Homo-oligomer: A and B are copies of this chain.
Amino acid sequence: MPAAITEEQHARDRRTLLDAAEDLFYRRGVQAVGMDELRAAAGLPLKRIYRLYPTKEALIVAMLERRDRRWRGSLAAHLDAVADPRERVLALFDWLGAWFAEPGFRGCAWVNAHGELGPSAPAIAEAARSHKRAFHAQVVDLVGAVDASAAEAVYLLAEGAIVVAGVHGDPAAAERARAGARALLAASGGADAPPAG
């Protein structure tokens, strides 16, 4: 067996490849980036890429799934650091604001991919739904500790902020959503916070 590719090499390649894929596909859209450009960016032979993922679509799904784990993990870590339940809900929007302010932020990768390909790429559409389900559950859990009746609205505020920030490149959408969430929690929850501002 010559030049056998080790398991660690595979893992390293996957990382390199998904890093390049995430950057390129998020920045320019999925169909606008060809496999050859991806190969050049990843510095990997096309053959290895196709051994790791049999099709471009499979690669995109893997990229979205890894991004989902990272994205929600980062959010969870941020929220876990906040003790007070009400503050923890508001911290969601601080985290979103920091995301929006990242250079190259261009909205929700899953919404973008879903909107671009739609029903003609069912696996990608399912990855988008799965991500949204998981994020929804995260928010419901988060808000449930304060006022379960506000959970759906807070979730929709977060989704709305992501779209608006994405289209306008305006990180301040997070603050507006945060103010909305604050008002919602003040409305039906215990009133230990001012009603607005």
Q: How many copies does the complex hold?
A: 2
A158 vs B157: C-alpha distance when bound (angstroms): 8
A179 vs B155: C-alpha distance when bound (angstroms): 13
A164 vs B140: C-alpha distance when bound (angstroms): 15
Residues 125-166 (chain A) with a chain B CB within 8 angstroms: 128-129, 132, 149-150, 152-153, 155-164, 166
Which residue of B is nearest A168, CB measured? B129
A163 to B: closest C-beta gap in Å:
5
Name the B residues within 8 Å of A188 (CB-CB). 183, 195-196
By size class, the interface of chain A is 35 or more
A144 vs B120: C-alpha distance when bound (angstroms): 41
The answer to whether B120 and A28 have CB atoms under 8 Å apart is yes
Query: Is A12 an interface residue, CB under 8 A from the partner?
Result: no
